[in-house]
Structure 1
Amino acid sequence: MSSVGQRALLAWHVHGSWMQALVAGEHRYLIPVNAAKDADGRGLLGRDWPQAREVDADRLRDEDIDLVILQRPEEIELTERWTGRRPGVDVPAVFVEHNAPRPLAVDSVHPLAERSDIPVVHVTDFNRLMWDNGKAPTMVIDHGIADPGMRYRGDIAAAATMINEPLRRWRTVGTDLLAPLGARVPIDVWGIGTPALAERDWPGVHAQGDVPGPQLWQDVARRRVFLHTARWTSLGLSLLEAMFLGMPVVAVASTMAPLVVPAEAGVVSADVETLASALEGFVSDPSAARAAGKAARDFAVAHFSLDRFLRDWDRLIDDCCR
């Protein structure tokens, strides 16, 4: 077992942005890699994470592991097969639940609901409330991201949004809302798979492709307002990034969004006409947009800092490893 303070943590590379925040801590992060480099062994995927290192799946049995950070149900079996240790029995483990429950909003039973030996760590209060967690111990550790800085310029009178795979995920991420909203204000859309939006030929909706940060942040922050269309996802890091950049927000009132966009930072509504009017209002009033953007940034810095995220995780890691 590692010395107190620095622990050896086994975690799969599942969600890149969340993982980037986790590996910014002081621990040693063991990232499984296999020959296929498939979902069970992606490794680092070229990421520059100094505290993390790839470990071949067939060598994990030789590694000292203080805590397993599970993110998918199948990783329970993978851990036992690759390390020879049972999560929650032979080695401490936690399960990070990144998603809102599906397919049912309130009646979905969590895969670990019958286990009391592996705590479930939700990333939002909404998710913990809506999942049926059974007898699993639960807690919430809110997202944290490295502050990209106040970059808002708002010199382009358009809305920006970030949606990965908009056609495949469709109503879940609110892609269908782009057409009626784009008819009122121009909307630039960044993300994986966004060039396919050209097939729809929606007036006012312009696909910008998958652009890496910090160039992405520079481009997005030139738009007057940020649009968050998701109906049923967990709290999107793109929304938090936009708030950190100092952008005013117009968001669909679903899942956690109403609780992280204060009234002074933008408009949250379930009415499409209200969303469209809010977009028009910010696009036509740069001073109001700047004021709301400042409030958005202040809230994000206060609630979603990387330092707070790492402190919360350090407390949990120490509790689990005692």
Structure 2
Amino acid sequence: MSDARVAKARELFREHFGRDCDGVSFAPGRVNLIGEHVDYNDGLVLPMPVAAGTAVAWAVHDDADTQVTAADFGEEDRFDPAKPAKPSNESWRSYVRGIAAQWGGDLPPMQLLITGDLPRGSGLSSSASLCIALGRAFVDATGDPVDATTLARRAQQTEHDFAGVACGIMDQMAAAAGEPGHAMLLDCRDLGYRQVAIPKDWAVLVVDSGVTRGLVDGEYNARRRQCEAAAAALGITSLRDASMDDLTAQDLPDPEARRARHVVGEIARVGEATAAIEQGDLQAFGRILSEGHASLRDQFEVSHPTVDALVERLQKMIGTQGGARMTGAGFGGSVVVVTSPDRAREIESEFSEASSRVA
């Protein structure tokens, strides 16, 4: 975390609460290079942390309630840390109370100030970043050690119980255990992972489409149910255990058949992409990204016309030097670009307000 972000969080805390904070915690957002909508299917994913994220300035205090300020929204909240209640409407408060609830009533009353530079709805997992940053503040406040995997599980449970999103655990693991300049090859079945260094002569950028991502009308949860139905029809626990031959033999109905084809193909692409990174094969990696975007658009149906147009425009700029695809759950958000430094500079110049370099 940069000194400037720490100083900003401390200053905002002092302005709001009239005292110095006890500490500042931070968690990054993430961009997923490949492996979309497979984490809740026990698949393999390849995310990496971004520089932007969420900072939480915190202090223990003598009041009975925990007091929270979301500085970037100009909003506040107050709740009993012994029994955080679920808000009536989903908002940033859902994540604060939800992650606090994972401590089972063992948190002291605290003052919390939240600030960050991750745009909401950009597909860079602002909710996971918020939960992990808060969790790290709670770990520091209580002095009880919590490892990265446990912290990620608590953040995922927050999404399930307080935000109503039946997400996998990729975002939370990337925020809790990712390393700058590295992709995380994560097995979402057993949560085993290893860091894969991005080649020094590659550049990774994120370009915001300008379409705020939303899990439209429960479509995210619907995709998960369709995947579960496909697995049940195949007689397996999850689509991680399926092959393309299995899908052909079973002749699943639509949309379950298309959802399953995406998942099985995407898991294979993660392995291919990891090999391309380790071999420094930028052209192969770009082809894999393009194939992944087409599958998300046509098989999983989670892209957006504006995002598709942006991917096409970026791919023309990149040529054979890498690739681009939508990243995140879909329905808007951002596009990830992996290319050469020269092409990256051209894109940054063309999309000066919407692009940011990751590696």
**Normalization by structure 1: what TM-score?**
0.28
Higher relative contact order (CA 8 A, sep 6+): 2
